[in-house]
A and B are shown apart, each in its own frame.
Chain A
Amino acid sequence: MLSRRNFLCRIPLVAGALPAAQALAAEPHAGHMGAAAHLGTVGMVDPASNGFDPQAILRDFDEGVVRGGVREWELVADEKEIEVAPGVKYAAWAYNGRVPGPTLRAREGERLRIRFVNAADHPHTIHFHGIHTARMDGVPDVGAGNIEPGGDTTYEFTAEPFGLHLYHCHSIPLADHIAKGLYGAFVIDPKEGRPDADELVMVMNGFDTNFDRSNEVYAVNTVAFAYQHEPVRVKRDQLVRIYLVNALEFDLINSFHVHANFFHYFPTGTSLEPTELTDTVIQGQGQRGILELRFPYEGRYMFHAHVSEFAELGWMGFFEVV
């Protein structure tokens, strides 16, 4: 009797013991799908209230301003509440008011100067992946170190090597500073350039909205299912180049899978020769690579993390080939 309720859950049905009960309780039943059921989020995220639109982020490359032979940007870190799934508000930290931060684009060998202003309430940095001096590495206790609230600094280095990199805050606790949104893609084009293409930036990310060290929401470019609700439009037979960055925290790997097609994969984008023709690629934390493909047929083609859990939690979308 002490654990009666536990027991109630465990006793198997003994057929025939209690005729009335048997008649009512023994009717076998498999679960059903209701007619109106669909999987996915309910409602829509308003890009206007977020201040950035995943559709715009896709093709938004920030080439900065060239002054006296030096390419310059200004990045401001600040707190910003963003809507990561319809109705779900997340207290993010953002560079220039968007998550992911602006996609910085330069050419191999150029001199780059990035002024960083910390307008937030916590110390932050920008740590660039690339080849540069220790003082420009954007980590605590080296060079300018942590930039305190209200402070600023300038990072300066040469764009090398060419490829697809990322930048992110390196203040501690590191996982929190990254997971809250302080990251962005950093593209260095080779001197000779790449073939003309419809270029897209996809930063795979996630959000731990209840602070249990695992993500509740997954996405590319922040908003769950953004490209499912509004597919990425591309032209048939045109070369499509995807700059794919994994900025996910708390999960060790992420992946990208495209339906009904294959792509050439250039890990880290540091070679002009692809290493693989595939339809699925895995990236660990901080890993990135360039994908090139053409869609030979019109129609709607799904793309998503082949980590199915991430896909159903928001990292899923469509290409609309026209």
Chain B
Amino acid sequence: MEAAAVRRPPAWLAALLPLVLLGALIGVFIAFDAPGLERNGIPVEDVAIERTELHPGEIQLTLQNDGPDAVRIVQAIVNDGFASFTQDDDELGRLDRSQVTVAYPWIEGEAYEVKLLTSTGGTVDKSIDVAAETPEADAGFYGLMGLIGLYVGIIPIAVGMLWLPWMRQLDRRWLRFLLALTIGLLVFLGIDAALEGLDLGASGAESLGGGALMWLGAALAYLVLAGVDGWLSRRGSGGERVALLVAAGIGLHNLGEGLVIGSAYAIGSLALGAALVVGFAIHNTTEGLAIVAPVADRPPRVGRLAVLGLIAGAPAVLGAWIGASAFDPSLAAFMFGVGVGAIARVIVQIAPQVRDSAGRLLHPLAAAGLAAGLVLMYATSLLISV
């Protein structure tokens, strides 16, 4: 009787109260334009150039205002000369994007220094090391990207998976060695992707997080894969689960790789050559090995292996398409982070299988395998970083 008389407000209302209060305070603060606080100093101009395209007689820049204040681009200078230009927006608010098209008779193969002058006399600088026309994104272009993805992603991984019959004849000790080798390969890929992601993040809009986006992507991917793994563990068997995870992890990694290839090609800075394709192919063949190593102790099923190969390789095609049509350094940094997180999760997953009969993880053969994996990946990476 008494409890019913004194009716307490529901618990969720109490949880909502601070939020409502915060909202009201923010409203008041904005309505009165930050009472008591005065702006110190002059406006800060910070503009990132997200994308550069060259078309006949034109240099096209995509800008993002990365600073707290609005920026107005009022003149354009190319190689120490004013040049005429057009732009989408006269004024860029915080995080606004705009495209500036500078009319300039650029010459293929030469270097250009573009400076955009702001209304305060500040400059936004962009160097073009080697001018080359940006390819048009038509059907043939997407076909080409698909072909690149096929060459550098799918085929090498499929070839690498052909090591499976040989691996099945190895005894357990050498299989552990190969698994350790796989971990070595993955560690190298993870480190490489992390550095690449940090690099890309730094080149994108700092206000979107810069390099932190890479770590965010890594953490999220790790957590998601850990969750998926927990869910899968109630179903399928151990080895196949691991193979699937390895394939997914490598796939996410290849998505980031595809992004970079596609964007480099889209802005004309990628000169396709046999050496490049061969380098990628040799490098990525080792990824196929990594996928099949965890399932070497059970009979292979061709259909399943093909699916695994596609999961690992096809994202390179997808990445190339995305990178070529809508490249964004911040997004790319995040995607590289996703690859890093996936790889980290895969390493954690494979590690127990490396343990020897005594339960040791870093037994001599495992250490040798790890080192061999790192060195192998490093050596093949030289093929594509001459």
Contacts and interface: CB of A to CB of B under 8 A. Distances in A.
Interface of A: 1-14, 17-18, 20-22, 24-25, 28-43, 84-90, 207, 209-210, 212, 216, 224-225, 309, 312-314
Interface stretch (B139-147, B306-314, B352-360, B365-373): B139-147
18 contacts: A1-B380, A6-B385, A10-B386, A11-B386, A14-B275, A18-B147, A31-B56, A31-B106, A32-B56, A34-B58, A38-B84, A39-B83, A39-B84, A42-B85, A85-B74, A88-B119, A313-B80, A313-B81
Contact of A1 (B75, B147, B199, B385): B385
B103 interface: yes
Nearest to A34: B57
A209 B57 contact: no
Interface in B279-323: 283
B381 A2 contact: yes
Contact of A33 (B57, B133, B377): B57
Given A12-B271, A32-B56, A209-B122, 12 more contacts: A5-B264, A7-B386, A13-B271, A18-B273, A20-B147, A24-B135, A25-B135, A34-B56, A43-B74, A87-B119, A209-B120, A313-B77
B273 A312 contact: no
A87 B72 contact: yes
Contacts of A88: 74-75, 117-119, 121
B199 to A, nearest CB: 8
- Secondary structure type dominating chain A contacts: loop
Where chain B touches its partner, the secondary structure class is mixed
Contacts of B386: 7, 10-11
Given A2-B192, A210-B122, A210-B123, A8 B105 contact: no
B186 to A, nearest CB: 13
Contact of B121 (A5, A24, A89, A224): A89
Shortest 10 CB-CB distances between A and B: which pairs? Answer: A209-B121, A87-B74, A17-B274, A34-B57, A312-B81, A37-B103, A1-B381, A32-B56, A33-B105, A21-B272
Contacts of A312: 80-82
Contact of B82 (A5, A89, A313): A313
Contacts of A35: 57
Interface in B119-137: 119-123, 129-133, 135
B270 interface: yes
A225 B77 CA distance: 14
Interface of B: 54, 56-58, 72, 74-77, 80-85, 103-108, 110, 115, 117-123, 129-133, 135, 140-141, 143-144, 147-148, 151, 188-189, 192, 195-196, 199, 257, 260-261, 264, 269-277, 283, 377, 380-381, 384-386
Contacts of B80: 309, 312-313
Contact of B81 (A9, A24, A39): A39
Nearest to A29: B133
Q: Which of A4, A84, A85 has the most CB of B within 10 A?
A: A4
A7 B117 CA distance: 32
Contact of A8 (B54, B72, B276): B276
Contacts of B106: 31
Contacts of B272: 13, 18, 21-22, 25
A87 B386 CA distance: 46
Nearest to A27: B133
A10 B108 CA distance: 15
Given A37-B104, A39-B82, A209-B121, A8 B270 contact: yes
B325 to A, nearest CB: 15
A309 B277 CA distance: 43
Nearest to B278: A17
A42 B84 contact: yes
Nearest to A24: B144
B41 to A, nearest CB: 14
A142 to B, nearest CB: 34
Nearest to B123: A210
A28 B120 CA distance: 41
B178 to A, nearest CB: 21
Contacts of A209: 117, 120-123
A216 B120 CA distance: 12
A28 B108 CA distance: 9
Contacts of B81: 39, 309, 312-313
Contact of B275 (A6, A11, A29, A210): A11
A42 B384 CA distance: 44
Contact of B77 (A18, A33, A216): A216
A309 B72 CA distance: 25
Contacts of A30: 107-108
A44 to B, nearest CB: 12
A9 B189 CA distance: 21
The listed residue with most A CB atoms (<10 A of its CB), out of B122, B131, B273, is B273
A33 B107 CA distance: 9
Contact of A14 (B83, B115, B133, B273): B273
A238 B284 CA distance: 79
A86 B121 CA distance: 11
Nearest to B86: A42
B25 to A, nearest CB: 37
A114 B122 CA distance: 36
Contacts of B85: 42
A42 B84 CA distance: 6
B37 to A, nearest CB: 25
Contacts of B192: 1-2
Contacts of A210: 121-123
Given A7-B276, A18-B272, A38 B103 contact: yes
Nearest to A26: B272
A40 B103 CA distance: 10
Given A11-B386, A31-B108, A86 B74 contact: yes
A20 B74 CA distance: 42
A89 B75 CA distance: 11
Nearest to B261: A8
B74 A216 contact: no
Count chain A CB atoms within 10 A of each CB in B129, B130, B147 and give the residue with the most.
B147
A64 B148 CA distance: 77
B103 A7 contact: no
Contacts of B107: 30-31
Given A2-B385, A86-B75, A87-B74, A40 B84 contact: yes
